[in-house]
Amino acid sequence: MASDPLDWIDDKLATLERSGLRRRLATRLGPQRVLLEPRDERPLVNFGSNDYLGLAAQRLGTAVRRSLDQTGWGSGASPLVTGRGEWHARLERELAVFEGTAAALLFPSGFAANFSTLAALIGPRDAVFGDARNHASILDGCRLSGARWFTYPHGDAAALSRQLEQSPGFRRRLIVTDTLFSMDGDLAPLAELAELAERFGAMLMVDEAHATGVFGAGGRGVCEASGVERAVHVRVGTLSKALGSIGGFVVGEARLIEWLANRARAYVFSTASPEAAAAAGLEALKVVQEEPQRRQGLLQRAAELRQRLQDQGWSTGESVSQIVPVIVGRASAAVETAAALRRRGLLVPAIRPPSVPRGRALLRISLSSAHTPQQIEQLVAAFRELRA
C-alpha cells in the first residue's frame, strides 16, 4: 500500500522536537491581560503580550459592545464590494488625521498590510532593499513582489548605501524596514535611511507595528521621534499591538492609498474586518492622544528594567524600547529559562529560530503600562535567582 502523503510531517515535527524548536498551542482561560489564567496552572504574570498600553481587555471591550448594537459582526465582503462600513471610513479618516497624512487604508492585519503593499509597489523589474531582521510579513512581501531582493546587515546604513550605489538600472527601487524591531527592541537608523532614499531616488517604506502608540511625543511612532515623517513615503502600522484591537493600516499620500485600494491583494481579495474592530481602533486612538502618560511611563519603566537586568549580568542587546530581550544564545537555554520563569509564576516567551538568528535565542519581555510595580519586582527577583 502506498504510504500516506502526509507522513513527511511526522519526520519534520520530530526534527523540530529534537532541536528544541517545536511549538505547542496554548489556550488561556479568561481575557488577555497582565494576569493570565492558563489551563491547569496557577495564574501567570503576562510578559508576552503586545498590548503595550493595556487597552485590549476592558477599555476597548466597552467600545466594541457599543458599536456591535449598530453594526452587528461580520463584514460579508471585501471593502471594494460591500464590506466597508461607516466605522471603517471614520477610522481611516481619524488615522490620517492622527498620522498627519492625506489618507489611510485599513487591512485585515498588519501582516496583510505589509506583504500586499510591497507586492503592489514593486515587481520583477524593480529592486527592494531590506534590513536582515525585518518582520516575516515584509520578507514575504519582498518574495511575492518578484523584485530583485537585496538584504543589508541589521541597521547597517553604510552597507545599504553601497548596495544602492552598485544597483542602478532598475525601474523602481524601494527601501523597507521595521522601525522598532520586534524581537530585539532596537530602532532602525531612520534618519540615515531617509537620507539614502532621497539621494538615490528610492521609495522608503517603514513598518511601525510595535512603535505606534508608544514612540514619539504624539505617539505616532519612531518616524515621529526621529523627525523623518515627511521623508517616508509609505508608513505601515497595526491596530493589534499597542492599540489593542486587530487590523493593519497604511498611511501616506492620497494617490498611494488609491493605488493600494486598487492593487493591494489583501485589500482587494480579503473580507473587511468587523466594524466593531474599527470602533475599538478609534477608541484606542483617542486614548493614545489623550493619555500620553501611558507611553511615557512605559518607556521609563523599560529603561529601568533594562538597567536592573544588566546590573545582574544579563545582556539586553541594543534594546531602547518596551521590548526587552534577554539574550541567552542557545534555543534550549531559552526554553529552559522560560520554564524556570514559568515555575515562578511568570510568562516570558522563549524566542528561537527562525524568529531570531541561530545562536541568538532570547527571552522576550514585553512590558505594558498595565503591569504593576510588584509584578515587575517579581520579574527582576526571578531573573536574579536564575543568575545566582
Ligand X SMILES: Cc1ncc(COP(=O)(O)O)c(C=O)c1O
Question: Where does this chain bind ligand X (CB under 6 A)?
Answer: 109-111, 114, 135, 137, 178, 182, 207, 209-210, 238, 240, 248
Q: What counts of helices (H) and strands (E) characterise the chain?
A: 14, 14
Q: Least separation, in Å, of the C-beta of 4 and ligand X?
A: 33
Report the residue number whose CB is nearest to ligand X.
110
Q: What is the Cα gyration radius of the chain?
A: 21
Rounded Cα–Cα distance for residues 237 and 211 (Å): 8
Of 110 and 130, which has the nearer Cβ to ligand X?
110
Q: Least separation, in Å, of the C-beta of 178 and ligand X?
A: 5
Rounded Cα–Cα distance for residues 50 and 339 (Å): 20
Q: Least separation, in Å, of the C-beta of 181 and ligand X?
A: 7
Q: Please give the single-letter amino acid code of residue 262.
A: N
CB 177 within 8 A of CB 215: no
CB 251 within 8 A of CB 104: yes
The contacts found for 255-258 with CB under 8 angstroms, 24 or more apart, are 256/103, 257/102, 257/103, 257/104, 257/105, 258/103
233 is catalytic: no
Of 101 and 114, which has the nearer Cβ to ligand X?
114
Of 240 and 369, which has the nearer Cβ to ligand X?
240
Query: Is omega for the bond preceding 325 within 30 degrees of 0, making it cis?
Result: no
Please pick, among 241, 245, 273, 371, the residue that the annotation labels catalytic.
241
Of 178 and 275, which has the nearer Cβ to ligand X?
178
Please pick, among 210, 226, 240, 369, the residue that the annotation labels catalytic.
210
- Of 111, 246, 200, the closest CA to residue 119 belongs to 111
Query: Coil, strand, or helix at residue 369?
Result: coil
Query: Coil, strand, or helix at residue 349?
Result: coil
Q: Least separation, in Å, of the C-beta of 209 and ligand X?
A: 3
Of 207 and 383, which has the nearer Cβ to ligand X?
207
Q: Least separation, in Å, of the C-beta of 321 and ligand X?
A: 12
For residue 166, how far is the Cα from the chain centroid?
31
Q: Least separation, in Å, of the C-beta of 314 and ligand X?
A: 23
Please pick, among 75, 109, 182, 226, the residue that the annotation labels catalytic.
182
Of 185 and 383, which has the nearer Cβ to ligand X?
185
- In terms of DSSP bridges, do strands 323-329 and 361-366 run parallel, antiparallel, or are they unpaired? antiparallel
241 is catalytic: yes
Name the E strands within the chain: 28-29, 35-38, 44-46, 103-107, 127-131, 148-152, 173-178, 203-207, 234-238, 248-252, 323-329, 346-347, 350-351, 361-366
Catalytic residues: 182, 210, 241
